[in-house]
Amino acid sequence: MTSDRIDHAAEARRLQGGARTIVRAMKGDPALQPHMAVIIMLDDARLEAQLEIAEQLRIGNILKVDEMYLRADYEPDEEIREALGIRE
């Protein structure tokens, strides 16, 4: 089972490296300027994917909680009585 936890130190190093690349390109490093559009597009795509995953996890958690409440309130006797037409 994989963990949903984020390695914050690794994420910070990755972002720091990306920030350095952007600063170098903004200062006019000619080797990086042609690649800036691609770097920005990839970063935007990554952010959108992370937001989508976060939304799906949020929805999954809501459904899990709803299912737990349903199971806690479920009484099989009630379903059997209803199927047989027995009213209290």
Domain ranges of the chain: 8-84
Q: Which pLDDT value is given to residue 1?
A: 43
Q: What is this structure's pTM?
A: 0.42
Closest Cα partner for 39 from 13, 9, 19, 54?
19
Q: Please compute the mean of the pLDDT values over residues 34-58 and round it to a whole number.
A: 84
Q: Collect all residues with Cβ–Cβ distance below 8 Å to 18 and sequence separation of at least 6.
A: 39, 43
Angle formed by the axes of helices 36-73 and 8-26, nearest 10°: 150
Identity of residue 28: G
How far apart, in whole angstroms, are the C-alpha atoms of residue 20 and residue 22?
5
Q: Which pLDDT value is given to residue 12?
A: 77
Q: Please compute the mean of the pLDDT values over residues 54-77 and round it to a whole number.
A: 76
- pLDDT band at 76; cut points 50, 70, 90: low
